[in-house]
């Protein structure tokens, strides 16, 4: 079952490649064939590591499920995030809708591509939308990163003291982890700024894709590049936040 699951993407790319050749799309057929070959080689190189990875993940999930405080923190922040999204969806969206009008156009941007001019009228309303959306994304990322830091601190305490029921375990591990998370709250906010900015840029790119027909492939490539940058930033943030919460216990 595990081998079948990891080969799904390779099979999918191979099937798409065959369909592209069938439709006489030779460039895309070769591209998907190369992608399928690279994916297959990658799977072969990491196949022997998958059982150990599954064992580690199962142990981590079992340990987290044994910490009721973690579930309470996750549910609490999930509720806070829903309230945050509802506030901006019904509050800020209503303010933007009520202020929309025909005026306020103050910038004209002309983009040339393949000898064709594309005029994009950018209004102050659009800038307000970007600011509002950035605030929504910033809050969402910040809540997620805060939960990540708190849970990392809880897990570290359990591993450090040898178990949840150990005599040296603090009486209120959740409050201790929360206190250390608040001392590093500035780092959490700083890391959230970049992810929220990338999400906002990707939202604008997707908006341009709905208005542009000939250059949609180019915007898809740009969107994919932003996705790669976002993945790297989020991975770095998670690693950095774990290091921050671990070092906080020794300050």
Residues 186, 228: one domain? yes
pLDDT for residue 96:
58
| Contact (Cβ atoms closer than 8 angstroms) between residue 125 and residue 99 | yes
Question: Are 146 and 77 within 8 A, CB to CB?
Answer: yes
In total, the chain counts a number of residues equal to 251
Residues 33 and 94 in one domain: no
pLDDT class of 181 with cuts at 50, 70, 90 = confident
Helix (H, G, I), strand (E, B) or coil at 2: helix
Residues 111 and 213 in one domain: yes
The more confident residue out of 95 and 165 is 165
| The last residue of a domain, from among 65, 92, 115 | 65
Residue-wise pLDDT for 54-80, tens only, equals: 888 888 788 778 788 888 888 888 898
Q: What is the DSSP string of 23-50?
A: TT-HHHHHHHHHHHHHHHHHHHHHGGGH
**Whether residue 73 is found in the same domain as residue 138:** yes
The answer to whether residues 59 and 73 belong to one domain is: no
Q: Which of 131, 232, 160, 146 is nearest to 190 (CA)?
A: 146
What is the percent of the chain with per-residue pLDDT over 70, rounded to a whole number? 74
DSSP tag of 67: -
Exposed, middle or buried, 200 (CB in 10 Å: 0-12/13-18/19+)? Answer: buried
Res. 112 pLDDT band, cuts 50 70 90: very low
Residue 94's pLDDT band (cuts 50, 70, 90):
low
Q: Same domain for 60 and 89?
A: no
Yes or no: say if 152 and 245 are a contact pair by the CB < 8 Å rule.
Answer: yes
Domain that holds residue 107: 68-248
* H or E, element range at 132: helix 124-161
| Same structural domain, 159 and 58 | no
Count of other CB atoms within 10 angstroms of residue 95: 10
Note whether 27 and 98 are same-domain residues: no
What is the CB neighbour count within 10 angstroms for residue 52? 9
Mean pLDDT, the chain, whole residue set:
74
Q: How many Å apart are CA 241 and CA 144, to the nearest integer?
A: 11
Asked whether residue 72 falls in the same domain as residue 61, the answer is: no
Let me know whether 29 and 72 are in one domain.
no
pLDDT score at 2 = 59
7 and 34 together in one domain: yes
- Give me the number of domains the chain comprises: 2
The C-alpha R_g of the chain, in whole angstroms, comes to: 24
Instruction: Answer yes or no: do 45 and 83 share one domain.
Output: no
């Amino acid at each position: 079952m595990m081998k079948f699951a990891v080969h799904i993407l390779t099979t999918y790319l191979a099937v798409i490649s065959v369909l592209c050749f069938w439709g006489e799309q030779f460039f895309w057929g070769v591209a998907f064939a190369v992608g399928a070959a690279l994916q297959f080689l990658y799977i072969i190189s990491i196949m022997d590591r998958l059982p150990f990875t599954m064992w580690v993940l199962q142990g981590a999930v079992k340990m987290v499920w044994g910490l009721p405080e973690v579930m309470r923190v996750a549910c609490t922040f999930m509720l806070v995030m829903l309230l945050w999204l509802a506030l901006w969806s019904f509050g800020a969206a209503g303010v933007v809708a009520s202020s929309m009008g025909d005026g306020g156009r103050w910038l004209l941007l002309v983009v040339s591509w393949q000898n064709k001019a594309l005029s994009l009228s950018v209004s102050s309303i659009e800038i307000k939308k970007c600011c509002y959306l950035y605030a929504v994304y910033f809050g969402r990322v910040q809540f997620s990163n805060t939960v990540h830091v708190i849970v990392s601190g809880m897990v570290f305490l359990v591993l450090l003291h040898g178990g949840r029921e150990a005599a040296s375990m603090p009486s209120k591990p959740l409050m201790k982890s929360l206190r250390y998370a608040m001392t590093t709250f500035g780092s959490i906010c700083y890391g959230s700024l970049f992810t929220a900015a990338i999400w906002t840029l990707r939202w604008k790119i997707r908006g341009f894709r709905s208005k542009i027909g000939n250059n949609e492939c180019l915007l898809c490539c740009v969107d994919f590049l932003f996705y790669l940058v976002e993945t790297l930033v989020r991975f770095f943030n998670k690693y950095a936040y774990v290091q921050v919460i671990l070092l906080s216990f020794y300050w």
